[in-house]
Chains A and B, each alone.
Chain A
Amino acid sequence: MKKSYKIDVDCANCANKMEEAARKTPGVANAVVNFMTLKMNVEFEEGQDPKAVMQQVRANCKKVEDDCEIFL
């Protein structure tokens, strides 16, 4: 399953870091952060609950870049 989320982040490098953090989150098959359109496309692994996974993704992103937001 794929979903797209709006995000807010200030710098391109931070966006890259968010992408990496999201990818490493369990339950995420793949994630792409688009800094120019401020969107995060997340592909979930089979049988995962996107809501729960996204909470974790958000927490992990906050860890690498304090000043970011994912609008769930």
Chain B
Amino acid sequence: MNKKQRIMLVRILVSAALLIALNFIPVTGVLRFVLYLVPYLVIGYDILIKAGKGIKNHQVFDECFLMAAATVGAIALAIYERSGDYTEAVAVMLFYQVGEWFQSYAVGKSRRNISELMDIRPDYANIEKDGQLEKVDPDEVEIGSIIVVQPGEKVPIDGTVVEGSSTLNTAALTGESLPREVCPGDEIISGCINMNGLLKIKTSKEFGESTVSKILDLVENASSRKSKSEDFISRFARIYTPAVCYAALALAVLPPLVLMLLGQPAGWHTWIYRALTFLVISCPCALVISIPLSFFAGIGGASNAGVLVKGSNYLETLSQTKVVVFDKTGTLTQGVFEVNGIHHSTLENEKLIEYAALAESASSHPISKSLQKAYGKPVDRSRVTDIQEISGNGVMAKVDGVQVAAGNDKLMAHLGIQAIPCHSVGTIIHVAIDGKYAGHIVISDVIKPHAKQAIQALKAAGVKKTVMLTGDAKKVADQVAAELGVDQVYSELLPADKVAKVEQLLAQTSSAKAKVAFVGDGINDAPVLRRADIGIAMGAMGSDAAIEAADVVLMDDDPLKIVKAIKISRKCLGIVYQNIVFAIGIKLICLMLGAVGVANMWLAIFADVGVMILAVLNAIRALFVKKL
């Protein structure tokens, strides 16, 4: 509670106490009026002043004016009728202020909660000076400085580990508390929490350019990009308030005049009372507050689950996704090539890999790396001599004095060696030793563990079509697509072709409510990410290009997060629509009841304050996304 809220609470309590006390004091006439004026002014003086200022500044139709007009009108009616019933006017003002107070409290509280949830900002960085650790502002740390991160502390700036090893908790960034091991030489991303060991890190970026700052910046600005629902509501509010004011005026004047013309009693006070009820119902608060709050909570909840949404508008678009287009490599597959099979080997498998790895050791080709990984031991270059690279075909070298040839069909044909063709999908490395065929090694990309599950879950979540785009060979692409159950595959595409394909899909799904999402890993598919209705980049930890180009950023590379992101957006938009329909619906019903005289001011105040409270509570639900 801040100072403003505390003062307001005191005013509410004093006024309520006075009002209750006055009910037991039997006074009449002018004294009664003066006595009731005390709680009224205690609770409502600022509203009256604001209403006055509004009129002075030609801003007549605001909430303060509505409340001032309604309550002053009710008091005037009580004086005119000599009923002495001032309670209603004071109570209306009181409840209005209670509602405002609650709104301010609830919004302040959720603002803090959500901000805390998103707060991954490190407060300081440790720098070693004369053997002592000194805490400094991360902003002041220059590139190339050595910072110390103790167990339990956040890594404040991106860099490379120079000393120490530890386990990192990346939950704040990815939403998953999958521990990550780091040792000297490893890159380290700010925002992770160091769990056990002391780490010394050489910074590679300034604080402002570090992952953590970029993410914070992105999330904080997200709710500034307003969605269509928000625009709709602010436009609605702009015409709604004056419209209701004119309707109230008409209600106060027209029916009595018509009745008078018909020769019946005009009943001025009845109609004026109804018009005042109208004014109380008309406050647009509930609507105007609950929609942005829902989006804010949704974005906050999503970022806590490792899904960064760059704007409320993107959350809205994401919820309408009907077609999901995937890039293959790095999105559905690991993008790391692994040895997946060794066939027709005349030696032990390990020996064959060893020969191939050693022969290829001088090459920087990814294939060579995967061979070395499969070999698993450090490569002793001194065992390899006479290396001869045959571009595009493979290598020939002497390993331990033995002639080894490793490469594709063409290399074998070139050497005049009969190779056994392979029916597996992937890159095939034939190995010949001393001029004799020794078998082949299959190297292929590995499908991510959750990829198939993710495709199924997308279908279950109502996505109509899944499409896979890849630059890879048709045979490889078709096999991956069949295994995953993707509806359509387009293979052997250049980056520009991918844009064209997405444009084609955009044209096919011309319906405004069916959006096309593109999921990529952010490496060289930035143009496609931008072109799609919504671009989702995954595995973006540390990749600036992806964070720049995409609309939604998934912090880790689990394809199931795509489903989660869509579900979060659906839940949030569901709440937004509930709030719009609920708030407008209740208000319209109450307006109608008020017009025919069924609703009194007490119901009116519920329509205003009650609806607002319920809508705010409903909006907060968007924050809870863990179980989706």
Contact = CB atoms under 8 A, between A and B. Distances in A.
Interface of A: 10-13, 16-17, 19-20, 32, 34-39, 41, 63-64, 66-67
Interface in B261-304: 284-285, 288-289, 292-293, 296
Interface in B88-139: 100, 103-104, 107, 111, 114-115
Contact of A11 (B4, B115, B220, B289): B289
A32 B221 CA distance: 10
Contacts of A63: 57, 59
B220 A12 contact: no
B574 to A, nearest CB: 19
A11 B103 contact: yes
Contacts of A41: 221, 224
B226 interface: yes
B289 A12 contact: yes
A40 to B, nearest CB: 9
Given A11-B285, A66-B50, A66-B53, A16 B224 contact: no
Contacts of B103: 11
A35 B104 CA distance: 12
Contacts of A37: 111, 115, 220, 223-224, 296
Contact of B59 (A34, A36, A64): A64
Contacts of A35: 289, 292
A67 B296 CA distance: 23
SS class of chain B's interface: helix, strand, loop or mixed? helix
B150 interface: no
Nearest to B50: A66
A36 B285 contact: no
Contacts of A17: 59, 62
6 contacts: A16-B238, A34-B224, A37-B111, A37-B115, A39-B220, A39-B224
Nearest to A19: B234
B285 A13 contact: yes
Interface of B: 4, 50, 53-54, 57, 59, 62-63, 100, 103-104, 107, 111, 114-115, 220-221, 223-224, 226, 234, 237-238, 284-285, 288-289, 292-293, 296
A70 B572 CA distance: 30
Contacts of A13: 62-63, 237, 284-285, 288-289
Contacts of A34: 221, 223-224
A16 B234 contact: yes
B114 to A, nearest CB: 8
The 8 tightest CB contacts between A and B, nearest first, are A36-B296, A12-B289, A12-B288, A13-B288, A34-B224, A63-B57, A16-B234, A32-B224
Given A13-B237, A16-B234, A64 B57 contact: yes
A10 B104 contact: yes
A17 B235 CA distance: 11
A12 B223 CA distance: 13
Nearest to B300: A36
Contacts of A20: 238
A54 to B, nearest CB: 17
B483 to A, nearest CB: 44
A10 B220 contact: no
Contact of B100 (A10, A32, A36): A10
